[in-house]
Every structure is written in structure tokens, then in C-alpha cells.
A = this chain, B = another copy of it.
Amino acid sequence: MSSKKEINTFSDYFNDEARVSPADRERINFEIALIGKMIEAREQKGLSQRELAEMSGVKQPAIARLESMRATPQIDTLFKVLHPLGYTIEIVPLAHDNTVSLTR
């Protein structure tokens, strides 16, 4: 039998410690969740990317890049985008898990 790991899907790759470290995986999952909430908040407000761009001062292509995760925002950019959506960022202790449900 071969000792090679089966790497066929992205999930296989992503969960292979030899390729993506646990720390990286955790950070990437964090970013996915963060951006997901950002998108959810915008759509819940019924805002288009262009409208949010107008309100936040962040240009529409930049917002599109963030939402499609082609860029990692700086905290000031994230703040500008979240604010018109009624959200902000906070530092919280790890494992506190006070997940914010946007569908209140």
C-alpha cells in the first residue's frame, strides 16, 4: 500500500497539515466567516455594492474584491464598509464564541 495522501479536492488540500498549517487554516476560516458576515449584512440591508461604495467611501471594485476574497482588507477599510451596515469590529477573548446572528 502506498503511504501517499489522497489529494483530490480543495478540501483535501486545505486540510493537509503539510500544505496548510493549522494556524493558516484557522486564519483563513476566520476571514471567510468575516467576509460572509459582511456580505450577509449588505444584502440584508438591500444595498448594492455601488450604494455601499457611495455610503462608505470605498469604491465598488474594492468592495467586489473584498467580497470575492481577492484582497484582505485593512481594518480602516473594513470599518468604513461595516459602519453603514450597522456593524463594527471588536477585540474579544478567544473561544468566547458570542457569534453574532445577523438574522435577528
How many chain A residues touch B (CB < 8 A): the figure is 31
Are A94 and B88 also in contact (CB < 8 A) when A27-B79, A30-B79, A74-B73 are?
yes
Q: Mark A79-104, 1 if CB is under 8 A from B, else 0.
A: 11011001111111110001010000
Are A90 and B93 also in contact (CB < 8 A) when A23-B83, A75-B78 are?
no
Number of copies of this protein chain within its complex: 2
Cβ–Cβ contact B76 & A31, under 8 A: yes
In the complex, what distance in Å separates the CA atom of A97 from the CA atom of B47? 25
- A54 to chain B minimum Cβ distance, whole angstroms, is 13
Q: Which of A80, A88, A90, A98 has the most CB of B within 10 A?
A: A90
